[in-house]
Amino acid sequence: MTGPGPSLHNIHYQTRGGAGRGRLLAAAALLLLVGLASSCSPAALPGGTSGPTGSSAPGEPAAPPPPAVPAQPAPPPGLPDVAVEARTGSVAIPLPVDGSSVPIVDAGSTFEVRLPFAARGARLVLLDSRDSMVPSSADAEVGATSRFTLVPLEPLLPGSRHVLRLEGLESRLVRSDDGRSFEPLAAPFRVAGEPPPAPPKKVKKKRAG
């Protein structure tokens, strides 16, 4: 006859011990799964690359800034303290350079422009209504100040319109000896008198027969 089997007390103890070990194993497995999920999250990836937020990794170069727009240089100023005159004998008629008026001068006038500084790189010219140069003799006296004179080779046509212009020799800008640049000077005027009548058109003769 076999010996006595396990008592009810022993069977109950073994059952409770097995259930406790099962709960411990389940808890350990849950902790392992949580740890794996944390290690695979986007924040934990190498290089600091984030997920759907779209932020760049620290090693990625930043986008270059937009190129700066260069500032436009200011236009050169007009000539300061300038004196412009048309002369007939001892009579001098000022010629405005701001276009406020168009003086009437004598057909035999000479012209003069004075600047309060040295400007060897400038010249004085006379233009007609077609922007063509009027044949003239011109002179310049430059020292601490500048004086430009112009004498037309022939009397100007009565009633004609002209512009006295002081401009640069190498470019349109007037340059002083100390390196400053100025806009050209332009003084319009009209010659006294009425323009001569236009010559009659020649009538072509018809050939006989």
Element (H, E) at 152: strand 146-152
pLDDT band at 61 (very low <50, low <70, confident <90, very high): confident
Q: What region does 24 belong to: left with phi over 0, alpha with psi -120 to 50, or beta?
A: alpha
Return the bridge partners of 138, or none. 150
DSSP conformation class of 46: G
- Does the pTM surpass 0.75? The reply is no
The residue among 111, 118, 117 whose CA lies nearest residue 81 is: 117
Contact 148, 166 (CB under 8 A): yes
Question: How do residues 138-196 score in pLDDT, each as one tens digit?
Answer: 999 999 999 999 999 999 999 999 999 999 998 999 999 999 999 999 999 999 999 88
Domains defined along the chain, listed by start: 83-191 (2.60.40.1220)
